[in-house]
């Protein structure tokens, strides 16, 4: 989703909801100030750097975000950003949270999968209120631009302040869900002297959310005692979210036959520069899918120049991200410059068609044919294998399948052609033989029957094209709205004040949140979700609006104060 840029006016550290209602700011509230266009690196001369995976020094000052408010939240986000935390590699981030809790004498516990809870007693009149669960996931999507040398397993995220936005240098930022996690840490760090009225808190940090809500599926429900939860993992400030889509992946295994060929010239065909984005939130925007567009280029080139052969193709690597780029290797008869020239002309013509089709939606889209010095020598895909592979990738659904009849504008069902990957032998070699491709499709729906109907379509197409296996991974449930929710009422009342009397949007999200799964694990959980404005989630264009983080923080505090007034 795209949101208008806004000017940062003020962001508060701790302001009671009573002060909001009076429209009076306490004298100690600081105003955010930062230079427009300032670009600094969190890795530069920062003692917070954790390039080796070690937890940062918790006493160090924020280097990039030092002028941003709310400073406690941004300070923790900068520390978290210095710790590599790809899905399945969250150990260092969890160690950081444990050390954080131990340093403050806060009790914590974890389940057998790595999900953990840190407790904090209520304060300033909220001690007797019911426990509130604050929930976020510690892992992040790891996407980078093709020219980036960033290593997500050891390098810190390089933070940049650009005007009203915080972003990263050529990689995903990790504001999804690092801002939510940092808000939880800021709450746990608040002293009684702040004056904030808080109920007892259980801050639940889950793992492996970005690869299919795995941590939530593995959650031991007894880890949390509270039955009211704030999920801090949405990306649109000004709305409250009360429902989300369910989803399920389909993994196709396609065997391919290879043929031995004489030594020849290899060229790479690349589709690059696409926006990509979140396969749920951005799917209705009709952004280009790198794999789908590459197939269009290859179909035209291989038909127009029959002497060319396909060696391999690949694109995408995350189930929940729209592929931003895709690549193929083609084989040309040695010394056939005419074939190369013809291929380049055809690819250029297809690019012209695509630019006309996508207009201003994909302004940086590029199609290139260039020498591939790294290509394997000796084999290419057979004609039958090429036809089956390209046909399958053409047939697989991508994009919006159906808009909801019940909720205006809500995508009910969609599917993302997420990745195509050659496995052993499929990238060529020095002899003919067999190889394999794995193709991943990620399907979402608010309803289970259409979700499974699309997955059956995927299975049928795959089998018709010769797939040896189609693994339909366990689907995760959607989160069904409860408009009578008590926590929704409290959050809506507080958000209405922050919006100067404007009625907040109450929305369902066409993306997977952990709320439905956690609700199944902890029956009776009353949940609402909200967050700041994050653009470009799951892509290197990810950025978070700084002013919206301040407003989000105000809403967290105001909602907790409202819940703290309810005694046991």
Active site residues: 139, 209
User: How many whole angstroms separate alpha carbon 279 and alpha carbon 440?
Assistant: 13
Instruction: Compute the distance between CA of residue 420 and CA of residue 58 in angstroms, rounded to an integer.
Output: 41
The span from the CA of 313 to the CA of 307, in Å, is: 18
Evaluate the CA torsion angle 270, 273, 274, 278 in order and state its sign: positive
Q: Would you say 502 and 239 are in contact if contact means Cβ atoms under 8 Å apart? A: no
Structure tokens at 354: 């695509």
- Are residues 268 and 327 in contact, defined by beta-carbon separation less than 8 angstroms? yes
Angle separating helix axes 71-81 and 91-103, nearest 10 degrees: 140
* Pairing verdict, β 399-403 and 326-332: unpaired
- Give CA angle at 455 (454, 459), nearest 5°: 120
Tokens of 167: 């972003």
Taking the C-alpha atoms of residue 97 and residue 205, their distance in angstroms, rounded to an integer, is: 9
Question: Across-strand partners of 457?
Answer: none
Place of tokens 């790198």: 290
Phi, psi of 529 (to 5 degrees): -130, 140
User: Cis link prior to 70 (omega < 30° from 0)?
Assistant: yes
Q: Is the dihedral of CA 86, 90, 92, 94 positive or negative?
A: positive
What spatial distance separates the first Cα and last Cα of the chain, rounded to whole Å?
40
Q: Which residues contact 281 (CB under 8 A, 6 or more apart)?
A: 1, 235, 509, 510, 511, 537
Residue labelled with tokens 């407003």: 551
For the stretch 129-155, what's the b/e string if a residue is b when 16 or more beta carbons lie within 10 angstroms of its beta carbon?
Answer: bbbbbbbbbbbbbbbbbeeeebebeeb
Closest-CA residue to 196 (of 77, 20, 10, 62): 20
Q: In 320-363, which ranges are E strands?
A: 326-332
């Amino acid at each position: 989703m795209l949101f208008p840029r806004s000017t940062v006016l003020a962001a508060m550290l701790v302001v009671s909801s009573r002060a909001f209602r009076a429209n009076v700011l306490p004298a100690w509230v600081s105003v955010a100030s930062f230079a427009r266009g300032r670009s600094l690196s969190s890795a530069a001369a920062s003692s917070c750097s954790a390039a080796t995976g070690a937890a940062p020094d918790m006493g160090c000052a924020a280097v990039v975000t030092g002028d941003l408010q709310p400073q406690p939240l941004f300070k923790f986000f900068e520390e978290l950003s210095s710790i590599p935390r790809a899905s399945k590699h969250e150990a260092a981030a969890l160690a950081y949270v444990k050390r954080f809790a131990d340093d403050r004498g806060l009790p914590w516990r974890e389940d057998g999968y790595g999900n953990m809870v840190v407790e904090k007693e209520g304060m300033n009149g909220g001690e007797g209120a019911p426990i509130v669960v604050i929930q976020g996931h510690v892992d992040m999507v790891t996407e980078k631009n093709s020219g980036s040398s960033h290593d997500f397993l050891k390098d810190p995220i390089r933070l940049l302040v650009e005007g009203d936005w915080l972003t990263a240098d050529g990689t995903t930022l990790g504001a999804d869900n690092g801002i939510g996690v940092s808000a939880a840490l800021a709450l746990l760090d608040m002293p009684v002297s702040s004056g904030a009225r808080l109920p007892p808190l259980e801050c639940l940090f889950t793992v492996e959310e970005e690869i299919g809500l795995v941590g939530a599926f593995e959650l031991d429900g007894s880890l949390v005692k509270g039955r009211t939860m704030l999920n801090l993992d949405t990306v649109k400030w000004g709305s409250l979210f009360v429902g989300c889509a369910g989803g399920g992946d389909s993994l196709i295994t396609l065997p391919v036959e290879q043929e031995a060929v004489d030594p020849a010239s290899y060229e790479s065909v690349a589709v690059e520069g696409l926006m990509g984005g979140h396969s749920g939130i951005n799917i209705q925007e009709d952004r280009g899918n790198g794999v789908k567009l590459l197939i269009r280029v290859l179909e035209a080139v291989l038909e127009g120049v029959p002497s060319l052969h396909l060696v391999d193709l690949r694109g995408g690597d995350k189930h929940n991200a729209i592929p931003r780029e895709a690549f193929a290797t083609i084989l040309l008869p040695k010394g056939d410059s005419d074939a190369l020239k013809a291929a380049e002309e055809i690819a250029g013509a297809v690019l012209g068609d695509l630019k006309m089709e996508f207009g201003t939606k994909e302004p940086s889209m590029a199609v290139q044919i260039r020498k591939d010095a790294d290509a394997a020598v000796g084999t290419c895909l057979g004609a039958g294998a090429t036809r089956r592979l390209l046909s399958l990738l053409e047939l697989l659904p991508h994009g919006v399948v159906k808009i909801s009849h019940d909720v205006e504008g809500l995508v009910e069902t969609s599917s993302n052609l997420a990745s195509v990957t050659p496995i052993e032998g499929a990238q060529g070699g020095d002899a003919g033989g067999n190889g394999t491709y794995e193709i991943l499709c990620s399907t979402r729906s608010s309803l289970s029957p259409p979700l499974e109907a699309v997955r059956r379509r995927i299975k049928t197409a795959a089998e018709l094209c010769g797939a040896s296996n189609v693994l339909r991974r366990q689907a995760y449930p959607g989160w069904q709205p409860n408009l009578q929710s008590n926590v929704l009422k409290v959050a809506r009342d507080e958000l209405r004040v922050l919006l100067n009397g404007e009625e907040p949007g109450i929305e369902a999200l066409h993306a997977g949140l952990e709320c439905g799964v956690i609700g199944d694990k902890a029956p009776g959980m009353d949940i609402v979700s909200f967050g700041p404005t994050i653009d470009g989630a799951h892509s290197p264009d990810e950025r978070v609006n700084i002013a919206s983080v301040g407003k989000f923080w105000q809403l967290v505090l105001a909602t907790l104060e409202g819940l703290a007034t309810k005694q046991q």
